[in-house]
Amino acid sequence: MALTKNLGMYQRAVESSGSRLVEEHAPLVKKIALHLMARLPASVQLDDLMQAGMIGLLEAAQRYSSAKGATFETYAGIRIRGAMVDEIRKGDWVPRSVHRNARRISQAIKVVEDRFGREAQDQEVAEELGVSLQEYHSSLSDANSGRLFSLDELNESGELPIEEVDASDNPLDGITSDAFRRSLAEAIEELPEREKLVLSLYYQEELNLKEIGAVLGVSESRVSQIHSQAALRLKGRLSGWQQESGAL
């Protein structure tokens, strides 16, 4: 992943801006970058993430308003992480076949769950896909490497992150996003216990895959598979959300 500008340029921008907010929250950039590094391939460099994160921090300082209802640290964290994720996507290090397989798995999980009216088991999904259980688990691991931001990206379209939008005169603005968040929370609550626990440890406790494996007593690769299956299960269950919420 290559950036067109270097970190020194961003550091000079920080100095010239004289922003107390930027100076105080600069360590947040490294904290978030290190957290993401635990979830990314070795080809992604820490310096690249930090360069992108500094841009996000500068933009946050310029655009922040207390009227947004969030602390600057919360707002900046979202902007920093978003900038890093954007740079990772630009690197295009995930083969298209990985994304195609992820969609196939999500669809297969939904088909199985609709058919039996219960949680889809690994062997059942593998059979639906026409592959062995080992091949299915391998595909889950590949999907996780390409979809580490799955929960953050799940929204009404199933593809893009839910982002804050500017206020308008439309009194219905925000209703669909709020409703979707409730639907997502409910879907997470209905996940199998182990998948729900992995998501909680990963997103709320901010443990990396190795640490979660130690908690659960399984390998890091198995945690990766569970994480991926949980995200794809959610995507399958929420795939029809737009149609179901059309009455809003």
Cβ(32)–Cβ(77) below 8 Å: yes
Query: 């740079």: which residue's tokens?
Result: 87
Give me the mean pLDDT over the 11-37 stretch. 74
Q: What is the pLDDT of residues 194-245, one digit of tens each?
A: 999 998 888 778 788 888 999 999 998 898 889 889 888 888 888 766 445 4
| CA–CA dist 102, 96 (Å, integer) | 10
Q: Which CATH architecture has domain 7-91?
A: Orthogonal Bundle (1.10)
Please give the share of the chain, as a percent, with pLDDT higher than 70.
69
Report long-range pairs for 60-67 (Cβ below 8 Å, ≥24 apart): 60/21, 61/17, 61/19, 61/21, 61/22, 64/21
Say what the pLDDT of residue 246 is. 45
pLDDT at 155 over 60: no
pTM over 0.95, yes/no: no
Output b/e per residue, 165-198; b: 16+ Cβ within 10 A. Answer: eeeeeeeeeeebeeebeebbeebbeebeeebebb
Domain-wise residue ranges, the chain: 7-91, 96-244
Q: Which residue has the higher pLDDT, 61 or 171?
A: 61
User: What interhelical angle do 122-129 and 96-116 show, nearest 10?
Assistant: 120
Classified by CATH at the fold level, domain 96-244 comes out as Butyryl-CoA Dehydrogenase, subunit A; domain 3 (1.20.140)
> Quick one: pLDDT band at residue 115, thresholds 50, 70, 90?
very high
Q: Which amino acid is it at 225?
A: Q
Average pLDDT, the chain: 75
Say what the pLDDT of residue 108 is. 93
